[in-house]
């Protein structure tokens, strides 16, 4: 429901003033939404190269989380990377 109250008894100037007021309020809301969207987008653009949660240094990840198991496994692998 619209909160603008325009009646038959209003003059043209009063109707235009009611519309200007509603338009000003609407534009203010839209500008705020655009500003928020712009801020969020610029933040996410920093991570545009893929999954931001992906670990980019695999050997460091393996060493940190799997440690001895990985070191033991490397002894059994061939130069092609498979057993």
Task: Give the Cα separation of 5 and 19 in Å (integer).
Answer: 9
Task: Give the Cα separation of 35 and 52 in Å (integer).
Answer: 24
Instruction: Inform me whether the pLDDT recorded for 73 exceeds 70.
Output: yes
What mean pLDDT value characterizes the chain? Answer: 77
Domain range annotation of the chain: 9-49, 53-83
Predicted TM-score (pTM) above 0.75: no
Task: Give the Cα separation of 55 and 10 in Å (integer).
Answer: 66
Instruction: Inform me whether the pLDDT recorded for 1 exceeds 50.
Output: no
- The dihedral built from the CA positions of residue 56, 57, 60 and 65, taken in this order, carries a sign that is positive
Task: Give the Cα separation of 61 and 67 in Å (integer).
Answer: 9
């Amino acid at each position: 429901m619209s909160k603008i109250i325009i009646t038959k008894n209003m003059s043209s100037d009063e109707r235009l003033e009611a519309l200007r007021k509603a338009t000003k309020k609407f534009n203010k809301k839209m500008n705020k939404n655009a500003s928020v969207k712009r801020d969020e987008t610029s933040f996410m653009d920093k991570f545009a190269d893929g999954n931001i949660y992906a670990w980019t240094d695999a050997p460091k990840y393996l060493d940190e989380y799997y440690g001895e198991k990985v070191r033991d496994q490397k002894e059994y692998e061939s130069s092609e990377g498979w057993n």
